[in-house]
Amino acid sequence: EVQLVESGGGLVQPGGSLRLSCAASGFTFSSYSMNWVRQAPGKGLEWVSYISSSSSTIYYADSVKGRFTISRDNAKNSLYLQMNSLRAEDTAVYYCARDLMVRGPYNWFDPWGQGTLVTVSS
């Protein structure tokens, strides 16, 4: 079964840091590009970041550029999001999402993890 499981969310003060992880199983992780997408409470979906299968290509939303860093470890079947200088507006459920097909990017997101909640508050 293809599965993505996020972890690492929690409560952090403004200006603080947090590292999210996404553990992948049931497919050849190293063949797929990956993304992070977030959803603020009661709001819509916002794409955060993209990383290619080999980590050679990375993109960020302007709202997180310079503060967030996406990375992956194909040997550990894991995706990461290092979040620094966190702001209240970063409060959201963060989802990792796999590209639909290999040899992308196609940037059709399927499947998604269950999400991990990040709350930035003093």
Partner 1 sequence: DIQLTQSPSFLSASVGDRVTITCRASQGISSYLAWYQQKPGKAPKLLIYAASTLQSGVPSRFSGSGSGTEFTLTISSLQPEDFATYYCQQRNSYPITFGQGTRLEIK
d(CA 88, CA 98) in angstroms, rounded, equals: 27
Q: Which of 23, 52, 91, 109 touches partner 1 by CB under 8 A?
A: 109
* Per CB under 8 A, 3 contacts partner 1: no
* Per CB under 8 A, 108 contacts partner 1: yes
> What mask of x and - would describe binding to partner 1 in positions 65 to 104, judged by CB under 8 A?
------------------------------x----x----
* Per CB under 8 A, 113 contacts partner 1: yes
Strand partners, 39: 45, 93
Q: How far is the CB of 101 from partner 1 (least distance, A)?
A: 9
Q: How far is the CB of 30 from partner 1 (least distance, A)?
A: 22
Long-range contacts for 24-29 (Cβ within 8 Å, ≥24 apart)? 24/77, 24/78, 24/79, 24/98, 25/1, 25/77, 26/1, 26/2, 27/2, 27/98, 28/102, 29/72, 29/74, 29/77, 29/78
Q: How far is the CB of 35 from partner 1 (least distance, A)?
A: 8
